[in-house]
Amino acid sequence: MANFDYGLELTNNSKVGWAFSLPRTETCVNATALCKRLCYGNGVRYQTNGQKDKRARNFRTCEFLLAEGGPELLAENLSMLVEQARPRDWLAARISGRKTAIPWTMRVHDIGDFYCADYVKAWTLTATKYTECKFWFYTRSFAPDELFDTLTKFASLPNCQGWLSVDSENYEQGILALCKAPAAVWKLALLQDSELASGVIPSLHGLEMELDIVSFPHHRSGRHAEPLRNPLLTVCPAVIGSLPLSPQKDSLRPCQACAFCLP
């Protein structure tokens, strides 16, 4: 029976702040076996019926809006989410010329990934409209095709930063995508598991370019793999506990305080 339960909803995450999520099964189109196994989305917090229903409803609604009106119609609806993510004091700050207490940010996909070019186009239209909001995302959707080309356009916006998520299984494909894209658009995010493939670090060293690489030691339930220390890598301070998580919606979240991954 068709499901007519529609609506787009944000998640407010104690590490990143406002984020939009989709179900992994439908949208992580280029996921590796390793990231499926280690994904933090496997954690209890993300597996409640409420969380799963929200992601499924978001996906169903994206598909419905794309079918009915293409990226433009979906962008209109995503715009409402971005407005919802405005800091509480946004208007007062605008009038007084001061900065807001916390920055206006949107992490695209706390869970899930970019699954088709039209969906990416909708986010591109949205981010183009809200230049004061900082968008950032990590993706494994970098197989060479229209989807990656469209994503590269999205990541090229001045208020957007895209990170190619690489791990022991897909680092060669990630490096290839990085090298084929225009310079200085993409950065790399490394999922560092406890048995990192021996070729990863030499391959990163072989890249002859200035490049930020953030490393996420695999973590689950407050424990994390021993962080690999290497001058090429910036270890995420939130993963190793140097920046405490914050449950308060209107307080500065670790990613907003650190801002390494933000545009």
Contact of 6 with 57, CB cutoff 8 Å: yes
Residue 261 as a binder of ligand SF4 (CB under 6 A): the answer is yes
**Contact call for residues 30 and 22 (beta carbons, < 8 A):** no
Q: Pick from 181, 196, 200, 255 the residue near ligand SF4 by CB under 6 A.
A: 255
Q: How far is the CB of 235 from ligand SF4 (least distance, A)?
A: 8
CB of 35 to ligand SF4, least distance (A): 16
CA distance 175 to 232: 14
* By CB under 6 A, residue 236 contacts ligand SF4: yes
* Start-to-end C-alpha separation, the chain: 43
**188 touching ligand SF4, by CB under 6 A:** no
Q: How far is the CB of 246 from ligand SF4 (least distance, A)?
A: 12
Secondary structure (3-state) at 217 = strand
258 binds ligand SF4 (CB under 6 A): yes
Contact partners, residue 249, CB within 8 Å, separation at least 6: 12
Binding residues for ligand SF4 restricted to 204-233, rule: CB under 6 A: 214
Provide the minimum distance between the beta carbon of 245 and ligand SF4 in the complex, in angstroms, as a whole number: 10
Residue from 69, 227, 237, 263 in contact with ligand SF4 (CB under 6 A):
237
Q: Are 105 and 259 in contact (CB under 8 A)?
A: no
Query: What is the number of helices (H) and of strands (E) in the chain?
Result: 9, 10
Query: Interface with ligand SF4 by CB under 6 A: which residues?
Result: 214, 236-238, 243, 254-255, 258-261
